[in-house]
Structure 1
Amino acid sequence: MIVYKAMTNDDHAAIMALLDAMPGVKVRDADSFEGFARYLRRNPGLSFAAEEDGAFVGCVFGGHDGRRGYLYHLAVAPTHRRRGIASALVRNALDALAAEGIGKVHIDLLADNADGLAFWQAAGWFERPELVRLSFLPTGNPQG
């Protein structure tokens, strides 16, 4: 049976191992334990993990800036796909964001993540052709 829970700092190593094994997901320096803990502290109760038999099989990070919500690192182990786990994780995060008064949520995908794009589009999410994402790296570290 799949159990869904809000992520805690104790979950870091197992969540990073899950993410590191996922095609279409890039683990960066920002995903260090310190970055993970800071993210959860700033966005309590908005990131969720799916667990079966004591092992994490899926996760999603949720957060907001006070106006807009953001989801990151949605991942489900290939052995557990097509069971509704990703949809349940997203629903948990969207419900938690809605409880915070957040009515619009964004995601970013790597351009070559065809499976991810198909999932999100099938769930009713849409591309915003009028937007362009720009980034700035104050430290110069592209892994930031």
Structure 2
Amino acid sequence: MTAPSQTTLRVMTMDDYDAVIELMKATPGVSFRDADSRDATARYLERNPGLSFVAEKDGRLVGCVMSGHDGRRGYLQHLVVLPEHRRQGIANALVGRCLTALEQLGILKSHIDVYRTNDVGQAYWESQGWTLRTDIHRYSHVRRGDENA
């Protein structure tokens, strides 16, 4: 009898880019935009070293989360776990790694944006004790070009 394989968490690198993008594209409720290009992701990881993580099982990426900060607040993006690997604590472990890494930098409050149409995502964050903000509205502005930025 073989032992069940372990899920390994590690810091995301640009070598993970293609697999992470495939996870994102395959997950309803998660957007893929121009801002997720290879160059933009490389800048993000360079600006926020050691704050984004992937989960591997049997040599395959099964989950990811990206995080960064502005010096005061943390921001998580693109938490994804393949459906067949959900409810195993992978998402919680990925989020925990981000929040611990942010806390080590003095960042104690973090945010995540979830599409209003992403019921699964909303249910997850609410089940983890995250608070839905109703006191603010988020406004965006694209300096030039495509609204897909």
Q: Bin the TM-score by the shorter chain.
A: over 0.9
Write out the 4+ residue segments of structure 1 that deviate beyond 4 Å after TM superposition. Answer: none
Q: Secondary structure at the match of 2:130?
A: coil
Partner of 2:23: 18
Unaligned runs of 5+ in 1: none
Cα distance in 2, alignment partners of residues 26 and 7 from structure 1: 19
- Sequence identity of aligned pairs in percent? 52
Are 1:115 and 2:120 an aligned pair? yes
Deviation at 1:62, TM superposition (A): 0.7
Q: Determine the structure 1 residue equivalent to 2:73.
A: 68
SS at match of 1:71: strand
Does the residue aligned with 1:17 lie in a helix, a strand or coil?
helix
The 3-state SS of whatever aligns with 2:17 is: helix
| Corresponding letter in the other structure for 1:83 | Q
C-alpha distance in 1, partners of 2:98/2:31?
20
1:86-121 per-residue CA deviation (whole Å, 9 max, x = no partner) reads: 000000000000001001000000110001000000
Which residue is 1:93 aligned to? 98
SS in 1 for 2:56: strand
Deviations 1:64-93 (A, max 9, x none): 000000000000001101111100000000
Q: Please name the residue that 1:38 is paired with.
A: 43
Structure 2: distance between partners of 1:12 and 1:110: 23
RMSD: 0.6
Deviation of the 1:142 alpha carbon: 1.4
Which letter maps to 1:126?
Answer: T
SS of the equivalent of 2:40 reads helix
